[in-house]
C-alpha cells in the first residue's frame, strides 16, 4: 500500500524579469550517468534545454521552482522496444501513454516496414508528444495482425529498407525482424543485410524452433554484428540465456556480449520469466537495455512500463543506478543518439524524469502471470520533454485549490459468523467476505461472491472455502459492480483525442464504457465492454471520467479520480458507487448493468480507500489537498481477472511449480 505523502509546495512565480531560468527542479537526487552525477543537485531548465546542474541554485534565479526533495531526477527514459503504429497492427498502444512512466523517447520495434512507414510518420509520429523513433521491419508491409505475413521472404527487400532509412535518418534508427516461423535464416540474413547497407543496428526477436532448422542456439549470435540487439533476453524459448540443466548463463552469451552484441529485456507478454531473470542477475548478466515490448498484452495486467521493469530487476538484486543507466545512456548509444539524448549536461535537450522509489510491499507480475512480492517500487512523478512538463502526478505545477476536503464517515461492516451454504457446486473463483456495495440491489454488507466461467453464479452470506478452485480474501476491500463510464472519448485509432479503453478503464474498476462515437475497430480491440451509445436520460448524481487524450495526461482523468473527488466533497461512499454503477446504467438504458446479479456476466471491481494526504487535480485544474483516495485493486471483466495490483489471485513464482514457456 502506498504511504500517505506530505503535500509539497511551489515557490511563487517571481515578478521581476531577468531570471535566466524557466524552471528549477530543487533538491532532488540526480542520477546522470553520462556526467557521473549521483547525488543531491538542483536542475535548471531554460528554453527547452538543461541550463545548469549544481548543488544550490537560488530560487530567485528562476520563474518557477519545484520542490523535488526525496525524489530522483534522471534523464528522460528511453524505451527501445514498443509497438505504437496503431493502424499497422491491433496489438499496439497510444504512444503518449508512456509519458506517465517517465519515458520521453520510444522506439517502435518494426510495426511498420518501408512500404507503410510514411503513413506511420504522418498519422502517429508527427502528432505525438513523446519522441518516437523507429526500427523498420525487414518485411516491407511491416507487422500485421496475421503474423504469417512476417514469413513473406519475397517482401524482404534490404535495399528498399535501407533506402527508406537513409530518407529519414533522424527517425529511423535501425532494422527489426520478428515472428519468423519458417525453416532457415532468411529473415535474419535479410535484416542484417539491410542493417549493413544502412549502417544501422538490427533488433532480433528470433524464436528457436526445433522443426524449423533453427535449433542451434548460438548460430543466430554468430550472425549478429557488434551493436545488433537480441530482445526478449529473459524468456526461455528463443536464444536460451541459461543452460536448463545447470542454470548457468550459456558461455556463448558471454562471448557474444564481449563481442558487442546487445541484450534487451523486451518484457512484453512472453519475454520476462522470474527464474531466468533471477539467475542472470545473480550471475552478473544484466540487460544492456530495458525495453518493454509495450503492447496491450503487457501494459495492463503485467504493468510492464520502464519504471516497473526496473523495479522488477531491483527486487531481484539490480541497483537503481544500473537501472537508470540501462534506460537512458545505454539505449541512446544503441541507436546512435548519444549524447544528443540521455544526459543532463548543460545545453542538452531537457528531457527529464522525476521518479520516486517507494518502499513497502508490492506485487510484480511476469510474463507467465506469476508474482514476485517485493519491497521496492519505482514510480514516475513528473515527465518533462523539451523542458515542458507533460506529466505531473501530484500537481506540483498547478495552483492549489481553495476548497477543503471533507469526508463522510465510511460505512461500517461487522464480521459475523454465518452458516455456510451446502451443496455440491464447485466454483472457479470466490471473492470471500468483501464489503459489498451494490446499490442497485440495496445490498450492503459482507458477502461471498462465486464466479463460474464468465458469470456470477452465487452471492451468499457464506460459501465454503473448500468449494472454490481459487478463493480471494476480499475482506479488506470494497466490492462493487464493475463501474460504468458514460463520458469518455475512446476513438483512439482514427482520432488524436481518443484514449485507448483498456489502459484507462480496467485499472480503475471500469468494465463498461459508453461513447456514441466508438467505432467497430475500437470495440473489437477492447476487453472493456465498449457500447456505442450516449446518455439517453438525464440522471442526477452521475459520475463519469470525461477522459480524453489531453486530460488523462494533464489531470490523470479516470473514474477513480472522479470518485475520489466526490468522496472528498463529503459524498457518502455508497452514493459515490451508485453514481458510477446504477445511475449510468439507467442513463444509457441498460439497467441490466451496474448491479451484482446471479446469472449475469461477472463484471466486478474491488477497491481500497487510502487515507492520508494526497494531491488530486480537480476538474478546474486546481490541486486539491485530499484526505482520501479510492484505488482499484482488482477488476474482473466477464469472469477474467484483468487487473490485480496486489496479485491477490496470483501465485508467488517460487511456489508455482514447473516453470517454462518452452515450445
Ligand atoms: Zn515486440
User: Strand 604-617 to strand 352-365: parallel, antiparallel, or no bridges (unpaired)?
Assistant: unpaired
Q: How far apart are alpha carbons 313 and 318 in whole angstroms?
A: 6
Distance 85 CA to ligand 1 centre (A): 12
DSSP string, 405-473: -B-PPPPP------PPP-S---EEEEEEEEEEEEGGGTEEEEEEEEEETTEEEEEES---GGGEEEEEE
Query: In this structure, what C-alpha cell is assigned to residue 466?
Result: 473448500
The percent of residues in the chain predicted with pLDDT above 90, rounded, is 86
| N residues, the chain | 663
| Cα distances (Å, whole numbers) of residue 74 to 24, 30, 31, 41, 181 | 14, 6, 5, 11, 40
Distance 266 CA to ligand 1 centre (A): 7
Query: In this structure, what C-alpha cell is assigned to residue 29?
Result: 537526487
Distance 486 CA to ligand 1 centre (A): 33
Q: How confident is the model at residue 237 (pLDDT cuts 50, 70, 90)?
A: confident
Nearest to 486 by CA among 564, 586, 573, 618: 586
pLDDT at 7 over 50: no
- Say which range, 14-23, 106-115, 315-324, has the weakest mean pLDDT: 14-23
Q: Which of 228-237, 413-422, 465-474 has the highest mean pLDDT?
A: 465-474
Q: How confident is the model at residue 13 (pLDDT cuts 50, 70, 90)?
A: very low
Q: How confident is the model at residue 512 (pLDDT cuts 50, 70, 90)?
A: very high
Q: How far apart are alpha carbons 157 and 317 in whole angstroms?
A: 43
Q: How confident is the model at residue 243 (pLDDT cuts 50, 70, 90)?
A: confident
Query: What mean pLDDT is predicted for residues 229-256?
Result: 88
Q: How many CB atoms lie within 10 A of CB 549?
A: 22
Query: What mean pLDDT is predicted for residues 640-649?
Result: 98
Give 167-171 contacts, CB < 8 A, sequence gap 24+: 168/117, 168/121, 171/121, 171/125, 171/132, 171/133, 171/134
User: Strand 443-452 to strand 455-460: parallel, antiparallel, or no bridges (unpaired)?
Assistant: antiparallel
- Whether 395 and 413 have beta carbons less than 8 Å apart is answered as no
| Cα distances (Å, whole numbers) of residue 408 to 412, 480, 566, 567 | 12, 19, 10, 7
Distance 422 CA to ligand 1 centre (A): 49
Distance 101 CA to ligand 1 centre (A): 18
Q: How confident is the model at residue 2 (pLDDT cuts 50, 70, 90)?
A: very low
- Whether 581 and 541 have beta carbons less than 8 Å apart is answered as no
User: Strand 623-637 to strand 131-137: parallel, antiparallel, or no bridges (unpaired)?
Assistant: unpaired
pLDDT digits (tens, 9 = 90+) for 361-393: 999 999 999 999 999 999 999 999 999 999 999
pLDDT at 663 over 50: no
What pLDDT does residue 209 have? 53
Q: What is the SS3 assignment for 305?
A: coil
Distance 228 CA to ligand 1 centre (A): 15
Distance 81 CA to ligand 1 centre (A): 6
Q: How far apart are alpha carbons 530 and 542 in whole angstroms?
A: 18
Distance 491 CA to ligand 1 centre (A): 24
pLDDT at 177 over 60: yes
Query: In this structure, what C-alpha cell is assigned to residue 164?
Result: 527508406
Nearest to 180 by CA among 209, 221, 222: 209
Q: Spell out the residues 6+ positions from residue 394 whose beta carbon is closer than 8 angstroms to its own.
A: 5, 7, 8, 381, 615, 623
Distance 143 CA to ligand 1 centre (A): 10
Could you tell me the residue ranges of all domains in the chain? 77-392, 482-595+608-629
- Give phi and psi for 400, each to the nearest 5: -75, 145
Distance 248 CA to ligand 1 centre (A): 26
Chain position carrying cell 451454504: 421
Q: Report the half-sphere exposure of 9 (CA within 13 A, side-chain side).
A: 4
Distance 86 CA to ligand 1 centre (A): 14
Which of the two residues, 11 and 84, has the higher pLDDT score?
A: 84
CA 351 vs. chain centroid, Å, equals 19
Distance 268 CA to ligand 1 centre (A): 7
Distance 134 CA to ligand 1 centre (A): 12
77-392 CATH fold? TIM Barrel (3.20.20)
Amino acid at each position: 500500500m502506498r504511504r500517505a505523502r506530505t503535500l509539497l509546495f511551489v515557490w511563487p512565480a517571481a515578478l521581476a524579469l531577468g531570471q535566466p531560468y524557466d524552471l528549477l527542479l530543487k533538491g532532488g537526487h540526480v542520477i546522470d550517468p553520462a556526467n557521473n552525477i549521483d547525488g543531491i543537485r538542483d536542475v535548471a531548465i531554460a528554453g527547452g534545454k538543461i541550463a545548469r546542474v549544481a548543488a544550490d541554485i537560488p530560487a530567485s534565479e528562476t520563474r518557477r521552482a519545484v520542490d523535488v526533495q526525496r525524489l530522483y531526477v534522471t534523464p528522460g527514459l528511453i524505451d527501445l522496444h514498443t509497438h505504437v503504429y496503431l493502424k499497422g497492427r491491433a496489438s499496439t498502444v497510444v504512444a503518449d501513454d508512456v509519458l506517465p512512466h517517465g519515458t520521453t523517447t520510444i522506439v517502435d520495434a518494426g510495426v511498420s516496414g518501408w512500404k507503410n512507414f510514411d503513413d506511420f510518420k504522418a498519422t502517429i509520429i508527427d502528432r505525438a508528444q513523446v519522441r518516437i523513433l523507429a526500427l523498420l521491419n525487414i518485411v516491407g508491409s511491416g507487422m500485421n495482425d496475421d503474423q504469417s505475413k512476417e514469413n513473406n521472404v519475397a517482401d524482404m527487400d534490404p535495399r528498399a529498407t535501407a533506402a527508406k532509412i537513409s530518407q529519414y535518418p533522424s527517425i529511423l534508427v535501425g532494422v527489426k525482424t520478428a515472428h519468423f516461423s519458417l525453416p532457415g535464416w532468411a529473415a535474419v540474413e535479410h535484416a542484417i543485410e539491410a542493417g549493413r547497407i544502412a549502417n544501422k543496428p538490427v533488433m532480433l526477436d528470433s524464436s528457436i524452433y526445433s522443426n524449423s532448422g533453427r535449433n542451434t542456439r548460438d548460430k543466430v549470435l554468430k550472425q549478429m554484428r557488434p551493436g545488433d540487439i537480441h530482445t526478449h533476453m529473459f524468456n526461455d524459448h528463443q536464444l536460451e540465456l541459461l543452460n536448463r540443466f545447470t542454470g548457468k548463463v550459456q558461455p556463448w552469451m558471454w562471448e557474444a556480449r564481449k563481442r558487442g552484441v546487445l541484450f534487451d529485456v523486451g518484457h512484453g507478454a512472453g519475454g520476462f520469466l522470474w527464474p531466468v531473470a533471477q539467475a542472470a542477475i545473480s550471475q552478473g548478466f544484466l540487460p544492456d537495455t530495458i525495453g518493454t515490448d509495450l503492447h496491450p498484452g503487457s501494459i495492463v495486467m503485467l504493468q510492464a512500463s520502464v519504471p516497473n521493469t526496473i523495479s522488477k530487476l531491483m527486487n531481484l538484486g539490480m541497483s537503481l543506478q544500473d537501472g537508470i543507466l540501462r534506460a537512458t545512456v545505454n539505449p541512446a548509444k544503441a541507436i546512435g543518439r548519444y549524447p544528443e539524448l540521455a544526459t543532463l549536461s548543460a545545453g542538452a535537450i531537457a528531457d527529464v524524469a522525476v521518479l520516486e522509489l517507494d518502499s513497502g510491499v508490492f506485487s510484480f507480475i511476469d510474463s507467465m502471470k506469476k508474482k514476485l512480492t517485493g519491497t521496492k517500487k519505482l514510480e514516475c512523478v513528473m515527465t518533462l520533454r523539451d523542458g515542458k512538463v507533460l506529466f505531473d502526478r501530484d500537481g506540483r505545477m498547478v495552483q492549489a485549490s481553495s476548497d477543503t476536503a471533507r469526508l463522510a464517515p465510511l460505512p461500517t461492516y461487522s464480521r459475523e459468523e454465518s452458516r455456510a451454504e451446502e451443496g455440491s457446486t464447485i466454483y472457479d473463483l470466490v471473492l470471500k467476505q468483501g464489503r459489498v456495495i451494490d446499490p442497485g440491489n440495496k445490498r450492503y454488507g459482507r458477502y461471498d461472491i462465486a464466479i463460474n466461467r464468465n458469470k456470477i453464479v452465487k452471492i451468499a452470506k457464506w460459501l465454503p472455502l473448500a468449494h472454490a478452485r481459487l478463493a480471494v480474501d476480499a475482506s479488506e476491500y470494497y466490492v462493487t459492480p464493475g463501474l460504468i463510464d458514460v463520458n469518455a472519448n475512446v476513438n483512439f485509432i482514427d482520432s488524436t483525442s481518443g484514449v485507448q479503453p483498456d489502459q484507462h478503464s480496467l485499472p480503475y474498476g471500469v468494465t463498461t464504457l459508453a461513447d456514441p462515437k466508438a467505432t467497430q475497430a475500437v470495440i473489437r480491440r477492447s476487453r472493456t465492454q465498449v457500447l456505442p451509445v450516449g446518455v439517453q436520460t438525464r440522471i442526477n448524481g452521475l459520475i463519469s471520467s470525461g477522459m480524453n487524450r489531453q486530460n488523462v495526461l494533464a489531470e490523470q482523468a479516470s473514474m477513480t479520480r472522479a470518485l475520489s473527488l466526490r468522496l472528498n466533497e463529503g459524498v457518502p461512499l455508497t452514493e459515490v458507487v451508485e453514481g458510477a454503477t446504477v445511475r449510468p446504467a439507467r442513463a444509457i438504458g441498460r439497467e441490466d448493468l451496474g448491479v451484482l446479479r446471479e446469472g449475469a456476466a461477472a463484471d466486478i471491481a474491488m477497491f481500497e480507500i487510502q487515507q492520508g494526504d494526497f494531491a488530486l487535480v480537480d476538474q478546474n485544474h486546481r490541486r486539491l489537498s485530499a484526505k482520501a483516495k479510492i484505488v482499484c485493486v482488482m477488476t474482473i471483466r466477464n469472469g477474467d481477472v484483468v487487473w490485480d495490483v496486489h496479485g491477490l489471485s496470483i501465485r508467488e513464482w517460487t511456489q508455482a511449480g514447473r516453470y517454462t514457456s518452452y515450445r
